[in-house]
Structure 1
Amino acid sequence: MKLLILDRDGTLNRSRDDHVASADEWEALPGALEAVARLNQGGWRVVIATNQSGLGRGLFDVASLNAIHTKMHRQLAAAGARVEAVFFCPHAPEDACHCRKPEPGLFEQIGDRFGIPLEAVPVAGNALRHVQAGATAGCPPHLLLTGKSEYLRGHANGDGVLSEPVPGLPEGTRLHEDLSAFADWLLAQPEATT
């Protein structure tokens, strides 16, 4: 099985400083849904791992989160794409849980649920904490230069490697302009190198 773990906000949809708290606020990034469709067509099963501390902070409820994901799944389906599952951490930062990224708990849950070693599961997201959590769990990390990581545009060489170190970025992290560029790269790789 080819499994891939994506972040949600800033990777698949536009991120907001005040949280995506309703279905009306969820807006797919250009080309992101089509990128998931291409990945699916290439045999990749896509799972989302996302921090949703707005739940723990009382900014929105589970019904609102479900409405957001219903909208996301409908738009993905309309683009010919599918996300297998959404794993989320509902805790606020002060809860000090094991599932809030950069902790690896969500990734470990995914590995357990799908019965797959995480060393074979690439992770891609726009936040350092997403790639940190994935790398800690043993996943090959990929940073997308969208949302929180846009400031790194122009700092990668032609091979998708940073020209200078970034504090906190796991060693071996590959950089991609966006989800579409990551999908293109991943689909062009021999299976043994992902």
Structure 2
Amino acid sequence: MNKIDPCKLIILDRDGVINQDSDAYVKALDEWIPIPGSIEAIAKLHKAGFTICIATNQSGLARGYFTLETLHAMHQKLTDLVEAEGGGIHSIEYCPHGPDDKCDCRKPLPGMFSTIADRFALKDLSSTHTVGDSLRDLEAGSKLNSQPILVKTGKGQRTLDSKKELPSDTLIFDDLRSFSDYLINK
């Protein structure tokens, strides 16, 4: 069990926050393309003392769109790129289930977030930040009291335009880079 400063824990969604998203799913390693500035933002946060975890729905596994081997290759590419910039990622949690599988990990349910909280012996995630591009990302983190951050990349602008009610304390940024700059300079 690792002890960390909860104020230094950031939980990121993957598709649409770190890499380009696709309504047809990111199914192959060559389709996993970082959003400009996202890798550098993660490295910068890590170098500033933040603990970076990722929580990502990956129902493409359940749907047979890609294999576990391909998913691990995507995550290795992400890790390698961040490490090449001098940063690190503490953990990557993923939900392999489809929307009808009745799991507790698929966002907007908080299962992956509970796993992260347990890893650091946190009762909840107050003082932490959850960064996502969809309402379900923000709702999952909010269920454990994490500060919701919406980025406009990926489906973020669509989420804003939908007029669905965001958690009341949601902060909005253009992208992961602008959020990281804000947090580091805060």
Q: Does 1:20 align with 2:26?
A: yes
TM normalised by structure 2 equals 0.91
CA RMSD of aligned residues (A): 1.6
Asked if structure 2 preserves the Cα contact closer than 8 Å seen for 1:132 and 1:168, the reply is no
Alignment match of 1:184 (pick from 169, 181, 186): 181
TM-aligned CA distance change 1:15 to 1:6, over 3 Å: same
Distance 2:112 2:158 in 1: 27
Asked if structure 2 preserves the Cα contact closer than 8 Å seen for 1:134 and 1:141, the reply is yes
Asked if structure 1 preserves the Cα contact closer than 8 Å seen for 2:129 and 2:149, the reply is yes
Asked if structure 2 preserves the Cα contact closer than 8 Å seen for 1:8 and 1:48, the reply is yes
| Partner SS state of residue 19, structure 2 | coil
Paired residue for 1:166?
163
Stretches of structure 1 lacking an aligned partner (at least 5 in a row): 156-164, 190-194
Q: Does 1:51 align with 2:48?
A: no
Alignment match of 2:12 (pick from 6, 14, 28): 6
Q: Does 1:94 align with 2:91?
A: no
| Partner SS state of residue 37, structure 1 | helix
Q: Does 1:132 align with 2:129?
A: no
Distance 1:152 1:105 in 2: 22
Asked if structure 1 preserves the Cα contact closer than 8 Å seen for 2:133 and 2:159, the reply is no
C-alpha deviation, 1:96, in angstroms: 2.1
Higher helix share: 1
Distance 2:23 2:36 in 1: 19
Paired residue for 2:121?
115
- 1:60-84 superposed Cα distances (whole Å, 9 cap, x missing partner): 1111111111111111111222111
Distance 2:33 2:145 in 1: 31
C-alpha deviation, 1:146, in angstroms: 0.7
Q: Which has the higher contact order (CA 8 A, sep 6+)?
A: 2
Distance 1:114 1:23 in 2: 31
- Identity between Structure 1 and Structure 2 (%): 41
Distance 2:128 2:98 in 1: 27
Distance 1:152 1:101 in 2: 15
TM-aligned CA distance change 1:61 to 1:180, over 3 Å: same
Distance 1:23 1:79 in 2: 20
C-alpha deviation, 1:138, in angstroms: 1.2
